[in-house]
Amino acid sequence: MIASASRPSGLDIPFVEMPPQWREAATDQPSESSESLSPGSLIADRYRVLRKIGEGGMGMLYACLDTVLSREVAVKLLQRNLAAEPLVAERLMREAMLAAQLRRHVAQVFDCGMLPTGEPYIVMELLTGRDLYAILRGSGPLAPEELSAAMLQVCDGLAEAHAKGIIHRDLKPENLFCATQPDGSSVIKIVDFGVSKQVSGRRLRAQTNPGESVGSPQYMSPEQITAPSEVDARTDIWSLGVVMFELMTGVLPFRGAGTAGVCASVLTAPTPSISDYRDDVPPALEFIVRRCLEKDRNRRFPDVLQLSDALRALASTGPGSTTRFAAARVTDSAPLPEDTDEVPRPRRRWVGVVSGLVVLGACCAVLGQGIREGRIRVPTAAELRQLPSRIGAIRFSIPFRRPAPHE
């Protein structure tokens, strides 16, 4: 089942901070706003409830049997009292439509619809495992090589989403799920596209007001706070920087009292150093995190491909240990140019320029020394004027080769 250890933030932002993904099912009594479905109940006359596996601020998550295809699935069902809110219902349906476009490192969506009673639902693949926050809470901060392997998978999924013009806008450890595969390996799945924004195409747009900030404040980029309608893929890169910092230190880089304090910290506070919390993180990895957390988005990695390249280069220079996240495919993180097997990497052209200047300077020095010692004679002006006629005479004095008889 999907086991999540999401934590409440204590920040009261109606329709701004999305509730934690799904809390692990407990024995609490059902709330007045929604009643849990008992095992054996049918959803949409097709999905038979097996058990309740999660509950969040917006709805319930059930493990169900698809009676048509005979497979277990997860069904996310919005609470009935929230289904009357058009904005909330649109967000849930938008999550289904956006996630259905993606294939790599994203929880697959199989179906969606509306119940006769008015609640929208999404049918997804049933994942087994824990989200990264649950892993952080249970096992402590990740080792640098574990973090790099996990983030390479996240970058793989984000590269596909960004290529389709989809920005997640709410990346956090709770929305990065470590799913256990049938062979025992682990794969990272990005979940909860409920506040995503599509910046290309006409069909889907963000269903929020232009001035409304959407996401979890601790993970929001500066531009997501100040100009939410102008965010681009680099806002997800900022959020990944916050996630990486937290997964390696156990604390958030930007904190404050309430929403205003958190936002002020994101906008003005300097980025703390990971080395203040632990001393085994390679400087290159800390540099990668700090670049993700540049407040000026023009100074961050321009896209997740370059972030992925930096993480992969770091992994190639580190110890060759195998981590729990290393088994997943990370080599085809985005569409590649035609007739090539890898993404073009920036060249260090300045090295060639400096080398050329050094060679040119050496030649000039040798020439000057030869002139001063008299070993090289500088032609006079009269000799230079006669040079074209001399070249012409040499040119026409060369005998032409007679063709052989057989030619």
Catalytic residues: 170
Report the alpha-carbon distance of residue 186 to residue 314 in Å, rounded.
21
Q: Is the dihedral of CA 127, 304, 221, 135 positive or negative?
A: positive
The label of the residue with tokens 């999907």 reads: 2
Of all helices (H) and strands (E), which one includes residue 245? helix 234-249
The label of the residue with tokens 């849990």 reads: 36
- DSSP letter assigned to residue 5: B
Percent helix, strand, coil in the chain (nearest 5)? 40, 15, 45
Report the alpha-carbon distance of residue 135 to residue 149 in Å, rounded.
15
Report the alpha-carbon distance of residue 143 to residue 168 in Å, rounded.
26
Instruction: Identify whether the C-beta of residue 150 lies closer than 8 Å to the C-beta of residue 216.
Output: no
Kind of pairing between the strands at 59-66 and 47-55: antiparallel
Q: Which residues contact 103 (CB under 8 A, 6 or more apart)?
A: 160
What Rg do the C-alpha atoms of the chain give, in angstroms?
31
Which amino acid makes up residue 300?
R
Instruction: Identify whether the C-beta of residue 171 lies closer than 8 Å to the C-beta of residue 239.
Output: yes
Backbone angles phi, psi at 196, to 5 degrees: -70, 160
